[in-house]
Amino acid sequence: MKGQRDVHLALSSGSALGLAHVGVIKALLDSGYNIRAISGSSMGAIAATFFAFGFTPEEMVSIAQDTGNKITLFLKAAIGSRGGPGITVESIVNKYIGNASIKDANIPLYVYSTDLITGKPYIFQPDDKVDIALKASSAIPGIFPHVKYKNMLLVDGGVASPVPTSIFHDKEDALLVAVNIYGGIKDCTWNPPPFTMSPVLAPIFSSMRSYAILMANVTSYITVHTDIMLTPPLCGFSSWDFTQAKQIFETAYTYTLDILSKQNK
């Protein structure tokens, strides 16, 4: 018998739009649900990890706002990963979580990446370090370099597992709740800011937009067996602008509260 308030939560990839995961987490907690285990790909992995290590939703939004001040976190990280003066995923992890391993999390944590050699997902193991796990899980192809690890070439978890539910398929002691960020942007029209057309930035933003279109179409055809599937409506928000953290959070929070209230009737 599934605990009606116990949840296994799977968080999709989604770049800055993945901040919606934080709003979903808060809505679940405020509605009385107990998140017993959590998985994530890419930005979903980052949100999952910070929650699993005890950060509140409000603290996660504050971190995103502080880090993304003036110039977006995405641009800082993209430049930093190429050796330029930017912020890397590892530096963020080391600042807030420290030199921790997956097993140090407060609840079971499953971080997904994709091995380019086998084409299959790699779920980081308990002894794997958190900074390597999140660096690999969020390594969007064409934007961030792949990560060499244990004879693998690892990239973004969303490539093989955009909605990472597989780890929970044989666990029936809790509700399986999944968040598919791309389901909420499939029919959105992109309004690119003028600076995204500059010679330096255009390839990055073209790759980013192309990846979002691909994932939106792929996930619409994926059959994911869940008890609750959440697709926060995120048209009007950008997948690269982390300065919108608060608004994305609030949109997902309100949406999820509404879905859960209907679920419980």
- How many other CB atoms are found less than 10 A from the CB of residue 52? 24
How many Cα neighbours within 13 Å face the side chain of 23? 28
CA-nearest of 111, 146, 137 to 126 is 111
CA distance 56 to 235: 26
pLDDT (tens digit per residue) in 200-241: 667 777 777 777 777 777 777 666 678 999 999 998 887 776
Model pLDDT, residue 59: 95
Report whether 136 contacts 129 (CB < 8 A): no
Q: Annotate 90-110 with b (16+ C-beta within 10 A) or e (fewer).
A: bebbeeebeebbbeebeebbb
Six-digit token pair at 86?
């930017």
CA distance 184 to 120: 26
- pTM higher than 0.75 for the full model? yes
SS3 (DSSP) at 11: strand
In the set 156, 161, 239, 241, the catalytic residue is 156
30 is catalytic: no
42 is catalytic: yes
pLDDT (tens digit per residue) in 91-145: 889 999 999 999 999 999 999 999 999 999 999 999 999 999 999 999 988 878 8
Report whether 234 contacts 20 (CB < 8 A): yes
Question: What single-letter amino acid sits at 196?
Answer: T
SS3 (DSSP) at 40: strand
Please give the average per-residue pLDDT across 15-27, as a whole number. 93
Write down the mean pLDDT value for the chain. Answer: 86
Report whether 250 contacts 61 (CB < 8 A): no
Report whether 26 contacts 19 (CB < 8 A): no
CA distance 249 to 246: 5
pLDDT (tens digit per residue) in 184-198: 777 777 777 665 566
In the set 12, 42, 137, 138, the catalytic residue is 42
Whether residue 73 has pLDDT greater than 70: no
CA distance 13 to 181: 7
